[in-house]
């Protein structure tokens, strides 16, 4: 047993938390922003092996993205009862959250505001494998996770995160919260066949925020691996999590911001639920599945929100703790997982073979080395919103491991009735599953960084961190906060000249029906300046809105976008001048009921094109008529 484990076991306390100043009235602030990722950037998570060839200035190891579906975003909900009684929920369309970036964000906010938000900041990833990579200045194996570091993009990403959080703080208004744990079994399914089980946990914690007598935000946590789109599709996308959020938002009759955190998604794949369908347009592969998942989760959330009790003086608090992790601290015996700097991709036998245990599995790992070691510490946060307590997890936990941790927490703290699990949050250490399960091999076992006992090591220390928050345990020796990546150093990207920007290359059709897709191609600017935003309008120029009153635009899952440059970057790396064509595709009616349809009538599409001088150029299509007969 490691010295730190012995110290922790001896460090229990019957004391109460140190008294603090009294909290004030509850306020809530909401903000959202695009991640400043250009179409063409490399993604993260799939690994670039056997991927199609695709080039751009914004990708190196991974293929360049060429399409967009649901622009990757940052969403923030801040809950505050005054300084020291705050929570900042930040959900990011990314493969994972890394503690170096989180630490840099805490320091950036401290520099801007004079305040330390380390305890309050809860930042998690949707785990889309179609989100932008290139934000890890770690080299080695980590380049295969997230493409090679792009310092100019990293800096823009960090500043946008800080800007969005500041915007939420500036938006604080009187609020109430409601919370509940509902269930949803049909939207996910067990993908881990090696354990011989077909098992899922349907828990779906929901925290709703009400301002001015209406729901303005919903924060939820659901176990679903955020990957429907594969690397071959070359999409930059929110993927299934974004579609779930939009489906939840559209259950309201006014604009609502939905934030979905991924829970124990390591072994929970998106399912193909049975939903009501109708005649509709043909969409790219995976879109119908995402729509079905979105409607299924929205059904559950909608039912939960309509029956909530509301609270205007809830407890708003959290404590962030840091955990040591390496081979010695975990306490491996001699001959077991002998990788001083960590090891990954431990290759087992045949997938789904449940008849044997891979006794030599830990001898077949790819080792990290002294120059590029696996992380030797991580971050977890425990806290609560009213009666809804929560614990974060640094990466991808298996269902059984997460259940065991939550059971241990509730056994120790029987007054904790509602407990949310925020996975892929605060940091990312890959996959974590139960030790016995690890020896069965398979993809989930191969994805851990510190071997068969990583999951149970993190689980114990997360249990202790929760006890530290509750005032019943002491963490003992914690590592100092990690040092962020070095300040970005780079030569700024030089935007290429756009030929004929601001013109329509291919106009919309005159008339369309329920099974048609409206397409419009405009010539815009270099993708580095941002994806042009398309708005659906009536032929008279009035905005067309979604079910919740938000505008129908191309950042949502109502459109998809294709981007083509000429000459291509493969043909001419530095052309100086190119055409940048952006094609917007809008299905008149999606086949999944509730996922979106146009009423009969006349419409047009207006596109806002960001220009190199900071101005916005506007291009408008001709009118088209929708007939539903």
CA 311, 317, 323: angle at the middle one, nearest 5?
Answer: 145
In a domain, 363, yes or no: no
pLDDT at 145: 87
Confidence of residue 329 (pLDDT cuts 50, 70, 90): very high
Confidence of residue 276 (pLDDT cuts 50, 70, 90): very high
Token readout for 259 is 């934030």
CA 210, 127, 330: angle at the middle one, nearest 5?
Answer: 110
Whether the predicted pLDDT of 509 surpasses 60? yes
Q: Residue 501 belongs to what domain range?
A: 497-626
Q: What is the number of structural domains in the chain? A: 2
E strand or H helix at 561? strand 560-566
In degrees rounded to 5, what are phi and psi of residue 405? Answer: -65, -45
Confidence of residue 14 (pLDDT cuts 50, 70, 90): very low
In a domain, 198, yes or no: yes
581, 566 Cβ separation under 8 angstroms:
yes
pLDDT in tens, 135-171: 999 988 889 889 999 999 999 999 999 999 999 999 9
Confidence of residue 3 (pLDDT cuts 50, 70, 90): very low
pTM assigned to the model:
0.96
- Cα separation, 354 vs 593, in Å, equals 40
pLDDT in tens, 518-546: 999 999 999 999 999 999 999 999 999 99
In a domain, 272, yes or no: yes
Question: Residue 281, Cβ neighbours under 10 Å: how many?
Answer: 20
- Cα separation, 388 vs 183, in Å, equals 15
Torsion sign, CA atoms 331, 334, 337, 339: positive
pLDDT in tens, 241-264: 999 999 999 999 999 999 999 999
In a domain, 406, yes or no: no
442: left (phi over 0), alpha (psi -120 to 50) or beta: left
pLDDT at 353: 75
CA 141 to chain centre: 22
Percent composition of the chain: helix, strand, coil (DSSP 3-state, to 5): 20, 30, 50
Token readout for 351 is 């997938």
- Cα separation, 222 vs 469, in Å, equals 23
Question: Residue 371, Cβ neighbours under 10 Å: how many?
Answer: 8
What rounded mean pLDDT belongs to the chain?
94
pLDDT at 489: 95
In a domain, 428, yes or no: no
Which has the closest alpha carbon to 343: 359, 323, 363, 319? Answer: 363
pLDDT at 350: 62
48, 62 Cβ separation under 8 angstroms:
yes
Whether the predicted pLDDT of 480 surpasses 70? yes
Q: Is the peptide bond before 115 cis (omega within 30 degrees of 0)?
A: no
What separation in angstroms does the CA of 157 have from each of 347, 547, 583, 610? Answer: 35, 31, 26, 18
pLDDT in tens, 337-359: 999 999 999 986 667 777 677 78
Question: Residue 574, Cβ neighbours under 10 Å: how many?
Answer: 8
CA 553, 558, 563: angle at the middle one, nearest 5?
Answer: 75
Whether the predicted pLDDT of 392 surpasses 70? yes
pLDDT at 140: 87
In a domain, 197, yes or no: yes
In a domain, 479, yes or no: no
Kindly provide the b/e burial profile for residues 70-86, where b requires at least 16 CB atoms within 10 angstroms of the residue's own CB.
bbbbbbbbbbbbeeebb
pLDDT at 324: 98
Beta strands in 435-541 (DSSP E): 497-498, 503-506, 511-512, 517-524, 533-538
In a domain, 144, yes or no: yes
CA 58, 74, 217: angle at the middle one, nearest 5?
Answer: 160
Confidence of residue 1 (pLDDT cuts 50, 70, 90): very low
- Cα separation, 136 vs 151, in Å, equals 9
CA 214 to chain centre: 26
């Amino acid at each position: 047993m490691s010295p730190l484990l012995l110290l922790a076991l001896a460090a229990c306390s019957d004391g109460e938390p140190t008294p603090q100043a009294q909290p004030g009235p509850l306020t809530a602030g909401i903000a959202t922003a695009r991640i400043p990722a250009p179409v063409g950037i490399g993604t993260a998570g799939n690994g670039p092996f056997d991927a199609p060839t695709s080039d751009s200035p914004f990708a190196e190891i991974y293929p360049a993205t060429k399409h967009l579906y649901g622009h990757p975003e940052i969403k923030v909900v801040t809950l505050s009862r005054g300084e020291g009684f705050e929570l900042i929920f930040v959900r990011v369309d990314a493969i994972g959250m890394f503690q170096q970036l989180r630490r840099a964000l805490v320091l950036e906010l401290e520099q801007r505001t004079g305040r330390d938000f380390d305890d309050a900041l809860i930042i998690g990833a949707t785990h889309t494998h179609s989100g932008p990579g290139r934000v890890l200045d770690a080299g080695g194996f980590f380049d295969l996770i997230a493409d090679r570091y792009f310092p100019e993009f990293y800096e823009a990403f960090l500043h946008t995160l800080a800007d969005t959080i500041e915007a939420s703080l500036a938006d604080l208004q009187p609020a109430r919260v409601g919370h509940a744990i509902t269930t949803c079994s049909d939207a996910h399914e067990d993908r881990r066949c090696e354990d011989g089980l077909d098992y899922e946990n349907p828990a779906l914690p929901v925290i709703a925020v009400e301002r001015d007598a209406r729901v303005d935000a919903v924060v939820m946590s659901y176990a679903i691996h955020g990957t429907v789109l594969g690397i071959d599709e070359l999409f930059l996308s929110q993927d299934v999590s974004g579609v779930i959020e939009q489906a939840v938002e559209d259950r309201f009759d006014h604009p609502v911001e939905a934030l979905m955190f991924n829970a124990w998604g390591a072994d929970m794949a998106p399912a193909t639920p049975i939903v009501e369908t109708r005649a509709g347009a043909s969409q790219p592969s995976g879109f119908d599945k995402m729509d079905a998942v979105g409607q299924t989760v929205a059904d559950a959330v909608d039912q939960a929100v309509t029956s909530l009790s509301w609270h205007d003086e809830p407890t708003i608090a959290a404590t962030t703790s840091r955990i040591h992790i390496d081979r010695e601290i975990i306490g491996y015996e001699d001959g077991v997982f002998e990788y001083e700097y960590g090891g990954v991709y431990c290759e087992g036998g045949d997938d789904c073979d449940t008849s044997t245990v891979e006794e030599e599995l830990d001898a077949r790992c790819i080792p990290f080395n002294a120059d590029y070691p696996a992380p030797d510490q991580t971050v977890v946060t425990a806290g609560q919103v009213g009666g809804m307590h929560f614990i974060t997890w640094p990466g991808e936990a298996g269902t059984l491991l997460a259940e065991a941790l939550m059971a241990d927490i509730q056994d120790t703290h029987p007054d904790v009735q509602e407990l949310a699990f925020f996975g892929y949050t605060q940091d990312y250490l890959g996959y974590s599953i139960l030790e016995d399960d690890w020896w069965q091999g398979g993809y989930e076992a191969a994805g851990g960084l510190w071997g068969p006992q990583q999951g149970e090591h993190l689980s114990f220390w997360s249990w202790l961190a929760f006890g530290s928050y509750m005032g019943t345990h002491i963490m003992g020796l914690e590592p100092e906060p990690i040092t962020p990546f070095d300040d970005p150093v780079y030569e700024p990207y030089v935007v290429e000249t756009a030929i004929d920007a601001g013109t329509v290359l291919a106009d919309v059709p005159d008339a369309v029906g329920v099974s048609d897709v409206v397409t419009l191609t405009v010539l815009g600017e270099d993708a580095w300046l941002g994806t042009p935003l398309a708005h659906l309008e009536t032929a008279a120029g009035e905005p067309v809105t979604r079910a919740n009153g938000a505008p129908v635009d191309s950042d949502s899952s109502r459109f998809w976008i294709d981007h083509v440059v000429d000459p291509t970057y493969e043909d001419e790396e530095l052309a100086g001048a190119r055409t940048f064509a952006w094609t917007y595709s809008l299905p008149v009616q999606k086949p999944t009921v509730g996922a979106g349809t146009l009423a009969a009538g006349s419409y047009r599409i207006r596109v806002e094109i960001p220009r190199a001088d900071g101005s916005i150029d506007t291009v408008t299509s001709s009118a088209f008529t929708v007939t539903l007969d």
